[in-house]
Amino acid sequence: MPCCWPVLACSAGRRGAVPCAGRASMRKTTLLAGALALAFSGMAGAATCAAPDTRTSVFIGGVDSGIANVDADGAGPGNCTLNDLLKADLPNTSWASHAKFVANATAVINAVPESQLSRTQKAALIAAASASDVGNVLAVKVIAFNDFHGSFDKQGALFGVPSTGGVANMAALVQKLKAANPNNVVVSAGDLTGASPLASALFHDEGSIEVMNRLGLEFNAVGNHEFDAGAAELLRKQNGGCASVDLNGVAVDPATTCRGADVGTPVPFEGAKFKYLAANVQNGATGKTLFPAYKIKSFQGIPVAIIGMTLQGTPSIVTPAGVGGLTFTDEADTVNALIPQLRNQGVHAIVLLIHQGGFTSGGKDDCKGLSDAIVPILDRLHPEVDVIVSGHTHWAYNCVRPDAQRPDGRRLTSAGKYGQLVTDIDLAIDTRSRDVQSTRATNVVVDPSALTPVAPIQNIVDGYKALARPIAGQIIGYIDRDISKAQNAAGESQAGDLVGDAFLEATAPADKGGAVVAFTNYGGLRGTDPVFAYSATHPNNKGAGDGKVSYDAAFTFMPFGNNLVVLDLTGDDLKRVLEQQFVPSAKAPASCTAWNTQTSGGRFLQPSASLSYAWSASRPDCDKIDGSTLKINGAVVDPAATYRVTVNSFLATGGDGFTIFNKGTNRLGGAQDIDAQVAWWKANTSASAPYSPAPLNRIRKF
């Protein structure tokens, strides 16, 4: 392949120059002209090709022109042929129409002097261009990810790669993918921020927005965690400006916002240069969407719609104050109602960014065993939707999945979490129908060993980490092994036990609430396993040192900043809230479903050591737990007695479907969850007496 082809100039009126055909087509015009000039004029020396195209004829767009495919420079075998120089046998998908390709090819061919290319040869080449399919298909690249969660740093192993991610590496991969096709768009399927590590969360995730601006993100569907700090804060993230008050109306520390002068970004905070999309999130009073439902991006005159939305169930998994006054509508119904609007604008290529997802039993590039909430949504989507970029479950998958509306299938992807993967999606769009003809996609691992970090982004990351370091680097505890948040078959985890004990210890004193049992929600335990890593070489150790736990690690594990709440529950309500861990079956009686409205399974509350019980899947709905096994401090729970129970403020308001907690009375607010955790580490561990997790026996399955 030649490195430097001479090109013919393009001019609107200069005699003898190649006619201009618009900015979009100039590159192809000059490319073909340069190839022909090199091939026929003898202007250059031998150009070596690693694998010369030795077909006997010149091909344009896959069509045989009948012109001899000669050794272009006359230097003999091992050098480039006309096919090599013209690149005519490779798919040419950057033309907005076939007519534009033919017009430009004709102009280039006719510009070659007849002393170098006869009229007959010109006619044959033009005929081949006319007969080709070039220009009838436009290639568009969609570069997608999801659930970034403010993850600046490299993560652990994934799909055989020992170290993955890091936003500066992720940006390098995005740049590489963008360079492969100028017709591209970079998108995210939600949870870009929220539940973030300390270096991002401490500064209201402003750093995450700033690095995404420079990474080239264009559209982000809102996810449930975008609402952790409330709609007003999310609007600030879009529009810019300094943070002033938190979700509770308390003034924020000025040192935690608008730190651009320290990290090399504008002051005040610049806001997102990309667009948030929220098709199914409406202001309850006005009926208007909080953010646009969709945006249309045109590629050489071909429009592609990007629709964005979150899961309808967001209010059940976000602190109520974060979504107050907002309405979340059905995902499929919302999308389907938008299709007529898009059709009226001539749009037939549609990409859906949805913060809802599924689980699979296969690898990163298949959908074997696909299950969970995304499935019924897919089965109801209008057939005009071509690609679904999903998220929320932190799972990686990618396939063309047939459904009731699209028996031929449509592309479904998810890139896992934390910037460890980027999905490279290629759309082939028919320029006549403007519809997606086919797709190809791959989940690409962000492999730091194969990428050069983007320096401006790494500089921002380093700046925020330096600001956070005085807090992040504090050693708060000690461990003698890795600590995992993986649940056993009964639903209990080492990390959950630790938090339950920390919450109880913080609220057991009479003046702190007099609690006898404590719970945390499993979904509030963040990070990848091991959440506390023993080895200093593991990224989750955060550089603390072997067997040491840093504040940074503790915050990454528990980033929400919820407050502890102690409340009264009867023994009967305590059993009922534990029964809300199990989704009622379709045959459940009304006496059960009247109070157990849980829709998502696997959300086991993580208890303090003071509580124990046993459950069985074979027991009746709303009675999965054997009441005789439900004990506090070894005594069977009395349904009529009152117990002081500690939960975080998310659960206290019915989060994660645990609505029975709303019945709690005599409420007393307490410390922040992270402060309770830190206090527990300091009080219960030391270098000579590190934490060693006890056997998992608080919850038993029989």
State the CATH number of the domain containing residue 614.
3.90.780.10
Supply the pLDDT for residue 106.
87
Strand arrangement, sheet containing 605-607: 605-607, 517-521, 642-648, 563-570, 665-672
Q: Is residue 159 part of a domain?
A: yes
Tokens 């995210």 correspond to what residue? 188
E strand or H helix that includes residue 439 = strand 436-445
Please say which residue of 92, 115, 135 terminates a domain: 135
Please say which residue of 135, 164, 193 terminates a domain: 135
pLDDT tops 90 at residue 16: no
According to DSSP, the residues that pair with 262 across neighbouring strands are none
Q: Is residue 287 part of a domain?
A: yes
According to DSSP, the residues that pair with 307 across neighbouring strands are 294, 352
Residues 73 and 115 grouped into a single domain = yes
Tokens 């005789």 correspond to what residue? 628
Tokens 């490319």 correspond to what residue? 31
Residues 201 and 327 grouped into a single domain = yes
Residues 353, 306 contacting (CB under 8 angstroms)? yes
Supply the pLDDT for residue 94.
65
In single-letter form, the type of residue at position 429 comes to I
HEC-encoded secondary structure of 56-73: CEEEECCEEEEEECCECC
Task: Read off the tokens for 62.
Answer: 């896959």
Residues 421 and 481 grouped into a single domain = no
Residues 113 and 75 grouped into a single domain = yes
Q: Is residue 571 part of a domain?
A: yes
Residue 22, phi-psi category: left (phi > 0), alpha (psi -120 to 50), beta (remainder): left
Residues 151 and 130 grouped into a single domain = no
Q: Is residue 4 part of a domain?
A: no
Residues 168, 151 contacting (CB under 8 angstroms)? no
Q: What angle do CA 420, 426, 430 make, to 5 degrees?
A: 160
pLDDT tops 70 at residue 686: yes
Supply the pLDDT for residue 73.
56
Distances (CA, A) of 443 to 28, 144, 185, 374, 449: 30, 9, 16, 19, 17
Supply the pLDDT for residue 82.
73
Domain span holding position 75: 10-135
Q: Is residue 269 part of a domain?
A: yes
User: What gap in Å lies between CA 258 and CA 596, rounded to an integer?
Assistant: 44
Q: Is residue 410 part of a domain?
A: yes
pTM above 0.85, yes or no: no
Based on the structure, what is the number of domains in the chain? 3
Q: Is residue 75 part of a domain?
A: yes
**Percent helix, strand and coil across the chain, each rounded to 5?**
30, 25, 45
Residues 352 and 446 grouped into a single domain = yes
Q: What is the pLDDT of residues 246-299, one digit of tens each?
A: 988 999 999 999 999 999 999 999 999 999 999 999 999 999 999 999 999 999
Check which CATH number belongs to the domain holding 189 and give it.
Answer: 3.60.21.10
Please say which residue of 82, 103, 135 terminates a domain: 135
Mean of the pLDDT values across residues 417-427? 98
Q: What is the pLDDT of residues 507-530, one digit of tens each?
A: 999 999 999 999 999 999 999 999
Is the peptide bond preceding residue 254 cis, with omega within 30 degrees of 0?
A: no
Q: What is the pLDDT of residues 133-184, one digit of tens each?
A: 888 889 999 999 999 999 999 999 999 999 999 999 999 999 999 999 999 9
Distances (CA, A) of 381 to 18, 206, 308, 410, 416: 48, 35, 14, 11, 23
Q: Distance from CA of residue 143 to its chain's centroid? A: 11
